[in-house]
């Protein structure tokens, strides 16, 4: 800093401009040398650099490093990420329309690959790709003028392009319009992308990239900000009741289109595809691979909002889920919380009948077969409520594993199945007050499923025969 000051004999303005920069490469800007020079502030997701306050263009120097490093993809799962700035997604870059950007791409000496950058904000061949092609341990510079405002994806475009993107090489650059964006209370950076690994979702260890899976476009992971759970629990993004929130959302792909949705909110404003068109009152918005969106909403009530790709198996089974925690006081006029939980008895309170699986029940030749067939009936007709392990769900569905109600009088269960059951009962010391619908099963199937239940999960055995069921049915 002192050296810079010693050499500077210009106006006070130029002293200030240079003093604000932490590290300035000698600018080689051709035209318009009275444009002030600034060092771009880069941030790692979910953080966003501060809004630009100047109302004139500047020369903005960007120094971005490509580095390959092992990191966490999910609990127990590591991946060798190729990154812009050491993180996935890459550093957020914020400039203003009309700015002249001097872009320095520095490829870390430890890299095994050459890398480059294609910024969708660039007007020029390859978005800068050829001009920024950089071997390990080298540095490249190119410059561009930001002609169009908007939120743009950048990514590596070194062959094989798909692989460089699949390994994590993408990020966002915001080109603010003249006059900037309207002020909001909170801004966050979120980028969706997929990972294609040799092992299945959750398979532990260092997982290599799987080209075959990438070609078929069936990823093992779909994530926000580079890993499963990057923004959940203590790492959730936050806001307070009454605040306005703006999310800069990108989709690095490489393949999938995102149906971006926030569970528990409605987008007041959507800058469609990151451009000028503003839509209002939107539930889910499409983010193309290699595209973006800006969404804005006001948080009115406290709680945890869940950010998802509403292609919903991606959210709950592949990782595309993040959290926005909203703190503050309840507003019961907008959202009441749960006001009642009562038993629902349609059509005036009679016990309902649910249709059986319709599978023709083969006649069991012996008890072992009866148990085998009974398990199939259980899986199709009982498992949803009483659970695969027979333990039920506390407060809702009683257990069949170790149920004193069942094991005391096994034949009573025939009536439960044929007629259904409702009202208060005690099972293994706990009260239940639910409704078990009558199931439409043949005598064979009732005998099979109860025999299975009596012999499963450590229950003490026994057999129910079709004859017993027939006599209870009364024919
Ligand atoms: Cu690359």
Q: What residues are paired with 60 via a beta bridge?
A: 38, 101
Indicate if the pLDDT at residue 320 is higher than 50: yes
Find the range with the poorest average confidence among 9-23, 54-68, 84-98, 220-234. 9-23
The pLDDT of residue 355 = 56
CA angle (338, 340, 345) in 5-degree steps: 130
- Percent of the chain clearing pLDDT 70 (strictly above): 88
pLDDT digits (tens, 9 = 90+) for 398-429: 999 999 999 999 999 999 999 989 889 999 99
Residue 382: pLDDT band (50, 70, 90) is confident
Peptide bond before residue 468 is cis, with ω within 30 degrees of 0: no
- Asked if residue 5 has pLDDT above 80, the reply is no
Average pLDDT (85-109) is 98
Ligand 1 centroid – CA 164 distance (Å): 5
Q: How far is the CA of 162 from the centre of ligand 1 (A)?
A: 9
Ligand 1 centre to CA of 187 (Å) is 28
Q: Which pLDDT does position 109 carry in this prediction?
A: 96
Beta strand pairing status for 150-155 and 170-176?
antiparallel
Could you give the CA distance from residue 452 to residue 315 in angstroms, rounded to a whole number?
Answer: 35
Is 90 exceeded by the pLDDT of residue 11?
no
Residue 272 CA to ligand 1 centre (angstroms):
28
Structure tokens at 288: 């193309």
What is the mean pLDDT of the segment spanning 391-398? 88
Higher per-residue pLDDT: 431 or 27: 431
The verdict on pTM exceeding 0.95 is no
Q: Is residue 12 predicted with pLDDT exceeding 90? A: no
Place of tokens 């959750």: 202
Q: What is the Å distance from ligand 1's center to 69 Cα?
A: 13
| pLDDT over threshold 80, residue 107 | yes
Gap from CA of 157 to ligand 1 centroid (Å):
6
- Write the CB contacts of 313 (distance below 8 Å, at least 6 apart in sequence): none
Question: Could you report the per-residue pLDDT of 267-317, keeping only the tens digit for each?
Answer: 999 999 999 999 999 999 999 999 999 999 999 999 999 999 999 999 999
Burial class (CB in 10 A: 0-12, 13-18, 19+), 31: exposed
| Tokens, residue 376 | 């199939």
- 460 CA to middle of ligand 1, Å? 62
Write down the residue that tokens 């990154």 correspond to.
Answer: 83
Q: Quick: pLDDT tens for 156-198.
A: 999 999 999 999 999 999 999 999 999 999 999 999 999 999 9
Q: How confident is the model at residue 343 (pLDDT cuts 50, 70, 90)?
A: low
Given a contact cutoff of 8 angstroms between Cβ atoms, the answer to whether 46 and 30 are in contact is no
377 Cα to the center of ligand 1, angstroms:
53
Q: How far is the CA of 428 from the centre of ligand 1 (A)?
A: 61
258 Cα–ligand 1 center, Å: 23
Ligand 1 centroid to residue 198 C-alpha, Å: 20
DSSP state of 131: G
DSSP-assigned states of every residue in 29-74 = --S-TTS-EEEPP-B-TT--PPPP--SS--EEEEEEEEEEEEEEEE
Sorting pLDDT into bands at 50, 70 and 90, what band is 340? confident
The alpha carbon of 167 and the centre of ligand 1 are apart by a number of angstroms equal to: 8
Alpha carbon separation from 420 to 113, 177, 380, 406, 453 (Å, rounded): 66, 66, 17, 14, 17
Whole-number Å distance, alpha carbon 424 to ligand 1 midpoint, is: 64
* pLDDT reported for residue 281: 98
Task: State the pLDDT confidence band at 33, using cuts at 50, 70 and 90.
Answer: low
Going by pLDDT thresholds of 50, 70 and 90, the confidence category of residue 53 is very high
**CA 209 / ligand 1 centre spacing (Å):** 14
**How many CA within 13 A on the CB side of residue 285?**
29
Cβ(45)–Cβ(247) under 8 Å? no
How many angstroms is it from 169 CA to the middle of ligand 1?
6
| pLDDT at site 4 | 37
Helix, strand or coil for residue 447? Answer: helix
Structure tokens belonging to residue 23: 């590290």
Assess whether pLDDT exceeds 50 at residue 15.
no
- Rounded Cα gap, residues 394 and 437, in angstroms: 18
DSSP annotation of 201 reads: T
- Interatomic CA distance for residues 108 and 113, integer angstroms: 10
Mean predicted lDDT score pLDDT of the chain? 89
Yes or no: say if 156 and 128 are a contact pair by the CB < 8 Å rule: no
Q: Under 8 Å CB-to-CB from 6, ≥6 apart: which residues?
A: none
288 CA → ligand 1 middle, Å: 21
């Amino acid at each position: 800093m002192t050296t810079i000051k010693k050499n500077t004999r210009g106006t006070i303005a130029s002293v200030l401009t240079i003093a604000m920069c932490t590290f300035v490469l000698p600018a080689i800007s051709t035209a318009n040398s009275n444009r002030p020079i600034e060092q771009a502030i880069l941030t790692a997701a979910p953080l966003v650099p501060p809004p630009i306050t100047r109302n004139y263009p500047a020369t903005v120097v960007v120094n971005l490093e490509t580095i390959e490093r092992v990191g966490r993809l999910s609990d127990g799962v590591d991946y060798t990420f190729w990154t812009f700035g050491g993180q996935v997604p890459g550093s957020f870059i914020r400039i203003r329309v009309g700015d002249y950007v001097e872009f320095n791409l520095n490829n870390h000496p430890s890299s095994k690959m050459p890398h480059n950058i294609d910024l969708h904000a660039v007007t020029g061949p390859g978005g800068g790709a050829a001009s920024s092609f950089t071997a390990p341990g080298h540095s490249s510079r190119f410059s561009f003028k930001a002609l169009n405002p908007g939120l743009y994806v950048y990514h590596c475009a070194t062959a094989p392009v798909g692989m460089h993107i699949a390994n994590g090489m993408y990020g966002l650059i915001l080109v603010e319009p003249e006059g900037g964006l309207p002020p909001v209370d909170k801004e966050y950076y979120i980028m969706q992308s997929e990972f294609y690994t040799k092992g299945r979702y959750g398979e532990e260890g260092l997982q290599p990239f799987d080209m075959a899976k990438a070609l078929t476009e069936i990823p093992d992971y779909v994530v926000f900000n580079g890993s499963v759970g990057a923004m959940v629990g203590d790492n959730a993004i936050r806001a307070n009741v009454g605040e306005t929130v703006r999310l800069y959302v990108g989709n690095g792909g490489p393949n999938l289109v995102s149906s971006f949705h926030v569970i528990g909110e409605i987008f007041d404003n959507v800058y469609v595809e990151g451009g000028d068109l503003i839509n209002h009152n939107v539930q889910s918005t499409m983010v193309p691979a290699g595209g973006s969106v800006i969404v804005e909403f006001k948080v009115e009530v406290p709680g945890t909002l869940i950010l998802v790709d509403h292609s919903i198996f991606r959210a709950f089974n592949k990782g595309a889920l993040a959290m926005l925690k909203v703190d503050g006081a309840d507003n019961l006029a907008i959202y009441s919380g749960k006001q009642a939980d009562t038993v629902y008895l349609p059509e005036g309170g009679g016990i309902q009948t649910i249709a059986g699986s319709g599978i023709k029940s083969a006649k069991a030749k012996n008890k072992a077969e009866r148990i085998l067939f009974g398990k199939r009936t259980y899986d199709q007709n009982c498992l949803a409520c009483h659970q695969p392990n027979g333990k039920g769900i506390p407060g809702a569905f009683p257990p069949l594993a170790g149920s004193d109600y069942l094991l005391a009088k096994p034949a009573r269960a025939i009536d439960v199945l044929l007629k259904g059951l409702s009202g208060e009962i005690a099972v293994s010391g706990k009260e239940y007050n639910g409704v078990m619908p009558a199931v439409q099963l043949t005598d064979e199937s009732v005998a099979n499923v109860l025999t299975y239940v009596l012999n499963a999960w450590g229950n003490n055995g026994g057999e129910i025969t079709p004859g017993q069921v027939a006599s209870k049915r009364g024919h």
